[in-house]
Structure 1
Amino acid sequence: MAARDGGCIIPGCDIPAYRTELHHVIPWALGGKTEVANGVCLCWRHHHAIETSGWKIRMVRGRPEVRGPAWMDPSQTWRPAQTHRANHAIN
């Protein structure tokens, strides 16, 4: 997950992978598996607020997509999750 996401996948968040927590896209309590195909990197703040913040996450062909809260994205468009790899390649 860290190699794929590079850091918190929420757009605008710059927390690198080594400071993130792993989040089950389909909750473990609802049968979600603990595996790369069902996990993403989220910073502490986004991980603890994901259920109430309005952000939604899904996996499509092994890649995370995000949809922002309605107040932020009235179109409710799913978008590829942010990755931090480009930043790491430059630095």
Structure 2
Amino acid sequence: MIPWQHHGKTDIDNGTLLCWYHHATIDTSGWEIRMVRGRPEVRGPVLFDPTRTWRPAATHRANTASRASR
């Protein structure tokens, strides 16, 4: 993900859904997001993850519950 203010494209391929809180803090919190084969991965700040390892974004439990009820 390349933020718009860093000349990122305003494009569906350069975006992901975030809750209002994370949308407001993503640029100042030290977290990073990237897309790998159409799936978001996240990397936490040094205080959260000293190794700064990229990890698949977790599936929200609400999505998991709605899929299970189908």
When the two structures are superposed, what TM-score results if normalisation uses the length of structure 1?
Answer: 0.63
Spell out the pairing of 1:48-87 with structure 2 (5 A cutoff): 48-84=24-60, 85-87=63-65
Structure-2-length-normalised TM-score: 0.78
Gaps of 5+ in 1: 1-24
Higher relative contact order (CA 8 A, sep 6+): 1
Whole-Å separation in 1 of the counterparts to 2:7 and 2:42: 21
**Greater percentage in strand:** 1
Aligned residues: 67
Structure number with greater Rg is: 2
| C-alpha distance 29-51 of structure 1, shift in aligned 2 (>3 A) | closer
- Residues 14-56 of structure 1, C-alpha deviations (whole Å, 9 max, x = no match): xxxxxxxxxxx21223332233221111111111111111111
Unaligned runs of at least 5 residues, structure 2: none
CA spacing shift, 1:54–1:30, aligned 2, 3 Å: closer
Identity %: 60
Q: What RMSD in Å do the two structures reach over aligned CA positions?
A: 1.6
Equivalent residue letter for 1:89? R
